[in-house]
């Protein structure tokens, strides 16, 4: 009997061991699977960060927006999403232009800007009516137009980007700063240009210091100004500081008190920003905003300097799609003709 019991015990023990081995193997496989799954969750395929770039497409100068977009798209591998802002009447034209050219590959959203938000906020001024166009004020309303992004680039349409837009997007904003701009005193190489065309680069050129409201700001008239044609903006800070409301307040005060006007250097869109962002902005690398190319049809930068520049800006009256203007070859490199034939370049031979 004892040997029989011993055999049964041995068989039972072997059975238990077999079951344990099977269970252990199963549990180990599940554990490995879970472990592998958790690794996959922790290291997903990196999704490339989207770079939102806001550009306006205004009637009569849509070729400018097209050239700017073309230059950005051609000089980067980054995942750029273009927000193209227009009025209801201009949107079909710009959409058709993009979709019927080599730009059909870009990622873009067309956003309609409602000029009614400006009602009662703009003082009419006949000296430079182009500065009163509604789309000049799109930069004031970035959080209303762009919902899902933390960081946004805004660009005027009269620019060409020669560098990788990723570099501009990577501009560091100091804590508490809602935006980064280029100082108008930043590059010695531009100082001669500023002097030769008589352009102002201080607050004196933008604000009327004869007005008490301006003097009450306590800003020295010799303070260096900045140019809001290129902006890297933090949307969280912008909303937190109610920047749009602050800008609107100064627009309304200008309507009532004529604190600045387009007869001064910067027109009506720059001045409110100079007030609201005084000493509250970060700076952009100077080579990412070479300005004043549109201030004189005679004054030119050196070709070597322009080749080094990351971004060129034809701010001023003399635009590269019109005549006369300077350095038009650098702009035309990126221009794409209008398939509809509505937008045409103005050239001496034409």
Could you report the average pLDDT of every consecutive run of 10 residues in the chain (350 residues)? 57 70 57 36 55 96 98 98 96 97 97 94 68 89 94 98 98 98 76 59 89 96 93 98 98 92 65 96 96 88 94 94 96 97 90
CA distances in angstroms from 147 to 142, 214, 236, 249, 325, listed in the order given: 9, 34, 10, 23, 37
Residue 74: give the domain boundaries.
51-186+225-236+281-333
- Neighbouring CB atoms inside 10 A of 44's CB total 7
pLDDT value of residue 197: 53
Q: How many domains does the chain have?
A: 1
Separation CA 102–CA 100 (nearest Å): 7
CA torsion sign for 11, 14, 18, 24 is positive
Looking up residue 79, the CATH number of its domain turns out to be 3.90.550.10
SS3 content of the chain, % helix, strand, coil (to 5): 45, 15, 40
DSSP 88-137: TTTHHHHHHHHHTSGGGGSEEEEEE--GGGGTTS----SSSGGGG-GGGG
55 lies in a domain? yes
pLDDT value of residue 112: 96
* Cβ-proximal residues to 256 (8 Å cutoff; 6+ apart), any chain: none
- Neighbouring CB atoms inside 10 A of 91's CB total 17
pLDDT value of residue 48: 72
pLDDT value of residue 34: 35
Tokens encoding 83: 């927000």
321 lies in a domain? yes
pLDDT value of residue 91: 96
The answer to whether the beta carbons of residues 206 and 200 sit under 8 Å apart is yes
139 lies in a domain? yes
167 lies in a domain? yes
Burial of 314 (0-12, 13-18, 19+ CB in 10 A): buried
Strand ranges of the sheet holding 50-56, from the earlier edge strand across to the other edge:
107-112, 79-86, 50-56, 151-155, 226-234, 179-183, 282-283
CA torsion sign for 105, 95, 132, 193 is positive
Torsion angle in degrees (nearest 10) through CA of 15, 20, 26, 30: 170
257 lies in a domain? no
162 lies in a domain? yes
97 lies in a domain? yes
pLDDT value of residue 43: 37
9 lies in a domain? no
pLDDT value of residue 28: 52
Separation CA 82–CA 78 (nearest Å): 12
């Amino acid at each position: 009997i004892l040997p029989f019991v011993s055999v049964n015990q041995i068989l039972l023990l072997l059975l238990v061991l077999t079951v344990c081995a099977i269970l252990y193997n199963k549990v180990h496989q599940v554990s490995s699977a879970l472990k592998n799954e958790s690794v996959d969750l922790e290291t997903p395929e990196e999704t490339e960060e989207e770079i939102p770039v806001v550009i306006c497409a205004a009637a009569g100068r849509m070729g400018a927006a097209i050239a700017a977009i073309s230059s950005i798209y051609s000089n980067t591998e980054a995942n750029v999403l273009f927000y193209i802002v227009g009025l209801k009447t201009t949107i079909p034209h710009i959409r058709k232009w993009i979709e019927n050219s080599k730009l059909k590959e870009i990622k873009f959203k067309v956003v309609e800007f409602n000029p009614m938000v400006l009602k009662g906020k703009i003082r009419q001024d006949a000296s430079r009516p182009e500065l009163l166009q509604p789309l000049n004020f799109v930069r004031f309303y970035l959080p209303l137009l762009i919902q899902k992004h933390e960081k946004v680039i805004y660009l005027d349409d009269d620019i060409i980007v020669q560098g990788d837009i990723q570099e501009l997007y990577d501009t560091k904003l100091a804590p508490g700063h809602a935006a980064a701009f280029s100082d108008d005193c930043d590059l010695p190489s531009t100082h001669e240009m500023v002097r030769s065309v008589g352009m102002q680069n201080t607050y004196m050129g933008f604000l009327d210091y004869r007005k008490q409201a301006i003097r009450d700001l306590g800003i020295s008239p010799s303070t260096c100004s900045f140019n809001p044609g290129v902006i890297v903006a933090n949307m969280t800070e912008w909303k937190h500081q109610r920047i749009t409301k602050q800008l609107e307040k100064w627009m309304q005060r200008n309507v009532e008190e004529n604190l600045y006007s387009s007869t001064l250097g910067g027109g009506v869109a720059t001045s409110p920003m100079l007030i609201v962002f005084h000493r509250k902005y970060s700076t952009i690398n100077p080579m990412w905003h070479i300005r004043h190319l549109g201030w004189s049809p005679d004054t030119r930068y050196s070709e070597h300097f322009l080749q080094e520049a990351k971004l060129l800006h034809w701010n001023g009256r003399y635009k590269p799609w019109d005549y006369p203007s300077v350095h038009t070859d650098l702009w035309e490199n990126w221009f794409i003709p209008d398939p509809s034939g509505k937008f045409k370049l103005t050239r001496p031979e034409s």
